[in-house]
Amino acid sequence: MGSMTVEQVAEAMYALVKECHGKRNLRATDLTKAMIDKIGAESCDKQMCKEAIRLLVDGGRCTYAYLGGSYIVLPPETC
């Protein structure tokens, strides 16, 4: 799929979180594994995924929820 930027990985992660909202809670490791499977390990590594998650959380597009574990979800006002 070619080399991707952190911003592109963040957009793909946001789309996945939005798609799974209300159906399934995603952990950071779930998002990382999904992106590596979707994009490929040569274009997206764990560090890039970590930076993409940080970008989403710091930007307010996603937030952490603690429901017996740490999950990445949409903020309550966007639900």
What pLDDT does residue 51 have? 96
- Distances in Å between the Cα of 17 and the Cα atoms of 2, 6, 74 are 23, 16, 7
Contact present, 48 and 7 (Cβ < 8 Å): no
What pLDDT does residue 42 have? 85
What pLDDT does residue 14 have? 96
| Average pLDDT of every residue of the chain | 91
- Show the domains of the chain with their CATH numbers: 6-78 (1.10.10.10)
What pLDDT does residue 70 have? 93
pLDDT tens for 9-42 read 999 999 999 999 989 999 999 999 999 999 888 8
